[in-house]
């Protein structure tokens, strides 16, 4: 097994694999993808909702707005090319209170600027499209191009394609230290790898990897857990489309909504409650006691300064940890929903939000940080899965050097060292 490569990609999720694919499209460089788990997409990439977002939510001019629409088209094409089922169901956004009429108008304008097909419909049209939902204003938005795919099927197909093109994908390969000047990383098993350029696409661990390279030192992960319930198949509620509330644009989350997976399961959620570890999916599992003080301090800072409407979010999302309060929020979309119609769901994810401690706020757009012989992809939250393919092209065009080769400096350089602090 080679211990040198031209490009070392840290992270075997959708972004890391999409970059490997793009690089292989461009030239015959030696590429190694490192994934600390025993398979690809074990965390955010494989646990997301699978929704191919249309792009109407994102501020015009932002990277998310620029990439999302094209990304959805390319992700749908990837499903078709590899025979992966895609639920082309469309989405309805309905206001759950009269005060959301202004937000609906803002979203319609963002959609226009971002090139997203959106139609404003009246109450009669809403009843015809989706009899189970309602509108507090008598109007709603119909987004026909939204679809739902299969994240894990995509990731496995993408990994197979990348391997077939000659890239080396290594599992159970956790990076624990780096020496940027020597262009080397050390793995948990003690192995040292040399690279020409490193690409940090580590998702929930992207900030830790960046700190090993002395980059993005003010950025720290602030994880939020997304919990779901699923609709009992025995319920008489039948949905034709995805149903979302018109969101409160003061906060960063879309609110409880429905997602019909490719196997027909209807999920409701997710929540957005603080997690206390990078992989704290359930209860006290994988709580990082060492990071808890920092996480609590960042949450307190956001609450005190009410960053991104955090006080309202904390009140709203905190209550939804209780089933009856969650059902209350879901009933704003589905009036006939009963608490008994909600069944526990195994599905749970973590939002890898990045908190910039220097600015005291969360990153809202995809962000890229340069360091010696490396780039670091931070804040790769939704719509990262949707946008993966054009995002990979953008990174290759703007940040990734093509003429690289691994080398080591003199033996007087320090060995690989782990970050401090």
Give me the CATH number covering residue 419.
Answer: 3.50.50.60
Residue 214's region, left for phi above 0, alpha for psi from -120 to 50, else beta, is left
371 part of a folded domain: yes
Q: Tell me if residue 162 falls in helix, strand or coil.
A: helix
385 part of a folded domain: yes
Tell me the pLDDT of the chain (421 aa) as tens digits.
579 999 999 999 999 999 999 999 998 899 999 999 999 999 999 999 999 999 999 999 999 999 999 999 999 999 999 999 999 999 999 999 999 999 999 999 999 999 999 999 999 999 999 999 999 999 999 999 999 999 999 999 999 999 999 999 999 999 999 999 999 999 999 999 999 999 999 999 999 999 999 999 999 999 999 999 999 999 999 999 999 999 988 887 888 999 999 999 999 999 888 999 999 998 888 999 999 999 999 999 989 988 888 888 888 888 888 899 999 999 999 999 999 999 999 999 898 899 998 888 889 999 999 998 999 999 888 999 999 999 999 999 999 866 566 654 433 333 434 343 3
367 part of a folded domain: yes
186 part of a folded domain: yes
95 part of a folded domain: no
Task: Say what the pLDDT of residue 317 is.
Answer: 81
Q: How many domains is the chain partitioned into structurally?
A: 1
Task: Say what the pLDDT of residue 358 is.
Answer: 87
- Listed in sequence order, the residues at least 6 apart from 410 whose beta carbon sits closer than 8 Å to its beta carbon are none
Task: Say what the pLDDT of residue 403 is.
Answer: 55
Structure tokens at 297: 């301090």
Measured in residues, the chain has a length of: 421
Q: Can you give the residue range of the structural domain that contains 29?
A: 1-54+146-218+363-421
E strands, 309-390, are: 342-356, 361-362, 367-371, 374-378
140 part of a folded domain: no
377 part of a folded domain: yes
Task: Say what the pLDDT of residue 418 is.
Answer: 39
243 part of a folded domain: no
Phi first, then psi, for residue 86 (nearest 5°) are -130, 130
- Listed in sequence order, the residues at least 6 apart from 99 whose beta carbon sits closer than 8 Å to its beta carbon are none
**C-alpha distance across the termini of the chain, in Å:** 33
């Amino acid at each position: 097994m080679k211990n040198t490569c031209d490009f070392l990609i840290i992270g075997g999720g959708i972004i890391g694999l999409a970059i490997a694919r793009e690089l292989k499209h461009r030239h015959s460089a030696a590429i190694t993808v490192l994934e600390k788990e025993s398979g690809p997409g074990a965390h955010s990439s494989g646990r997301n909702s699978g929704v191919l977002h249309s792009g109407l939510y994102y501020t015009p001019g932002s990277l998310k707005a620029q990439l999302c629409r094209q990304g959805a088209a390319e992700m749908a094409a990837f499903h078709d090319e590899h025979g992966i089922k895609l639920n082309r169901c469309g989405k309805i956004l309905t206001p759950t209170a009269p005060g959301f009429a202004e937000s609906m108008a803002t979203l319609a304008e963002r959609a226009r600027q971002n090139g997203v097909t959106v139609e404003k419909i009246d109450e009669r049209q809403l009843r015809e499209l989706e009899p189970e939902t309602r509108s507090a204003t008598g109007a709603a938005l119909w987004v026909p191009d939204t679809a739902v795919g299969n994240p894990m099927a995509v990731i496995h197909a993408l990994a197979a394609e990348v391997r077939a093109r000659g890239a080396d994908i290594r599992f159970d390969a956790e990076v624990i230290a780096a020496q940027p000047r020597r262009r080397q990383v050390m793995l948990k098993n003690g192995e040292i790898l040399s690279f020409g350029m490193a690409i940090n696409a580590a998702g929930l661990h992207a900030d830790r990897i960046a700190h090993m390279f002395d980059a993005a030192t003010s950025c720290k992960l602030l994880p939020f857990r997304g919990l779901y319930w699923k609709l009992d198949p025995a319920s008489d509620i039948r949905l034709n489309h995805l149903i979302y509330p018109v969101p409160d644009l003061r906060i960063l989350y879309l609110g409880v909504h429905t997602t019909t997976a490719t196997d027909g399961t209807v999920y409701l959620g997710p929540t957005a409650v603080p997690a206390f570890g990078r992989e704290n999916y359930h209860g006290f599992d994988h709580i990082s006691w060492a990071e808890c003080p920092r996480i609590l301090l960042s949450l307190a800072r956001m609450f005190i300064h009410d960053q991104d409407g955090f006080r309202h979010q904390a009140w709203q999302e905190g209550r939804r940890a209780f089933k009856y309060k969650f059902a209350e929020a879901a009933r704003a979309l589905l009036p006939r929903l009963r608490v008994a119609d909600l069944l526990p769901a195994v599905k749970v994810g973590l939002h890898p939000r990045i908190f910039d401690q220097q600015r005291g706020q969360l990153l809202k757009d995809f962000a890229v940080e340069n360091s010696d012989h490396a780039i670091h992809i931070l804040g790769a939250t939704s719509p990262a899965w949707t946008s993966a393919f054009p995002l990979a092209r953008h990174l290759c065009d703007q940040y990734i050097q093509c003429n690289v080769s691994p080398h080591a400096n003199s033996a007087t350089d320090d060995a690989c060292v782990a970050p401090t602090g």
